[in-house]
Each structure stands twice: as structure tokens, then as C-alpha cells.
Amino acid sequence: MNRRNFTKQLTTGMTGLAISPSLTWADFDNIISEAELIGKGNPVFFGSDYQLRKEAHLAFEKLRAAAASDAIQIKVVSSYRSYVQQDRIWSRKYKQFTEEGMNPDDAIAKIVEYSTIPGTSRHHWGTDLDLVAQNELQLDDELLEVHFEPGAPFYDFKQWMNKHAASFGFVEVYTNAPERKGFKYEPWHFSYMPLSTKYLKCYLKIDLLSLFKEELTGGNFFTETFIQKYIDENMLDINPLLK
């Protein structure tokens, strides 16, 4: 890849992502640091079976208690993930898919159906959760869309969340809106909107080129077209309430 063209393309593509020029990194540092935004900082988290920032933690405890009063027992599958943890997921999937015979481009495309490039995950922020309901079944993979459909183990949980979650500040990130692109529908992934909307604005001020220059497994196969599509669709084509 021509590094000069790569830099020019990404810089051009990021022009439309800038937020108000009146805001500076000094303003952002009062909200969250750049290192924390990419999963490399040392934030303080709260929670017993999960890790969230304090405000999100307090709101989630209220949501969980309200659900329990309606006989919905919420289970946290995933919350905060560091850069290292996300890189481990990425590398494992890349190795699996390429060993199954996929070429690198197809393997990368397959990974980003559901998993983020390390450094770009919303789970780095301490605002997002993957949630299901407690159940007696031994499911091999709880985070499958089929488990949230009518008659499935998590259907009642999802209907409760659809009705009540937003009143506690939690919003589904990757909806099943037919026009949405990027990551596939994730009925389990919720974000604490009062914080994550601020963090997204901060995140879009980062020099993303530096992230994609990290030593990622398969990263040498990232093309200019792929990176711009990933930014536009996977990172930004989310629930409009979270922008």
C-alpha cells in the first residue's frame, strides 16, 4: 500500500467527522482521556459482575432492580474490554477463519460482522454492556440473534428492554433497522447514552491513522477502501440516538 496515499485518503475521509472547532483536547480531558477511549488507559470502574464507569454503573443497578421486580433477571455477558482483550478476540478469529481456508480479506470482512478492530470498540469506554437473561439452559453461545426471537430464552428480556431500558439511559447500539450498515444486529448490546454520546464525540477527534498503524494480526491487508468503509459503516452507522 502506498503510505502517502493511505494517509491522504484517511485524512480526507475524517474531515467530515470533526466536531465543533471550539472544543479542544483540554475540554475532552475533563471527560475521558484518549488512552481510555482506545482501551489503553487505567479508568476506575464499578460493578460486581461487570465493569462500568460510576454513572453508568448506578444507572444499570437501577435498571437491573426494576427488571428483577418484573421477574426479569439480567445477566451481564460482557462489559469493559481493554485493547489487549479486544486484540486477543481479533487475533483468535483471524487465525480461526484463515485456518479454515478463508483468504485474509474475507477473514477480515467476516470478523467485522460482529467484532471491532482493537482500539475502536465501544466496550473500551466503560459505557457498554452485552446483556441476556438468566436462564437454566446451557447455551453454547448466548449472543446469537435466534435466542431473542419469539419463544426463545431471551425474548421476554428483550421485550422488557425495548420498553424500559431507555428510561434508565440505556440504548440498543446496533439495531435491526433495514437501512443500517456495518455490524450486524446485536439485540444484546446496550450503551449508556448520557456518557457514550459524549465519548463518541471525543473519539472522533483522535488521529485514527495511528490506531490502524498498530501491529494487528492481518492489519497489513487493511486497504484504504476497507478502512473508510469501516469508519463510515461500522463505527458510525449506529442507533441515531447515540450520535
CATH number for 37: 3.30.1380.10
Give a yes or no: residue 140 inside a domain: yes
The reply to whether 31 falls in a domain is yes
> Does some domain include residue 14?
no
User: Measured between alpha carbons, how far is 61 from 120 in angstroms, rounded to an integer?
Assistant: 26
Domain span at residue 229 reads: 3-7+20-242
Q: Which three cell numbers stand for residue 171?
A: 440504548
pLDDT for the residue 209: 74
Residues 152 and 77: beta-carbon distance below 8 Å: no
Inside any domain, residue 55: yes
Q: What pLDDT score does 9 carry?
A: 38
What are the grid coordinates assigned to 181, written together?
Answer: 450498515
Residue 238 belongs to some domain of the structure: yes
Residue 15 lies in a domain: no
Please give the pLDDT value at position 14: 41
pLDDT at 215: 85
Q: What is the pLDDT of residue 24?
A: 47
Residue 208 is assigned to a structural domain of this protein: yes
**Tens digit of each residue's pLDDT, the chain (243 residues):** 433 433 333 443 443 333 333 444 444 445 789 999 999 999 999 999 999 999 999 999 999 999 999 999 999 999 999 999 999 999 999 999 999 999 999 999 999 999 999 999 999 999 999 999 998 888 999 999 999 999 999 999 999 999 999 999 999 999 999 999 999 999 999 999 999 999 999 999 988 777 787 789 999 999 888 988 999 999 999 999 999
Strands 74-78 and 189-192: unpaired
Element holding 172 (H helix, E strand): strand 170-172
Predicted pLDDT of residue 25:
42
User: Domains in the chain: how many in total?
Assistant: 1
In angstroms, rounded to a whole number, what is the distance separating the alpha carbons of residues 211 and 233?
17
Residue 222 placed within a domain: yes
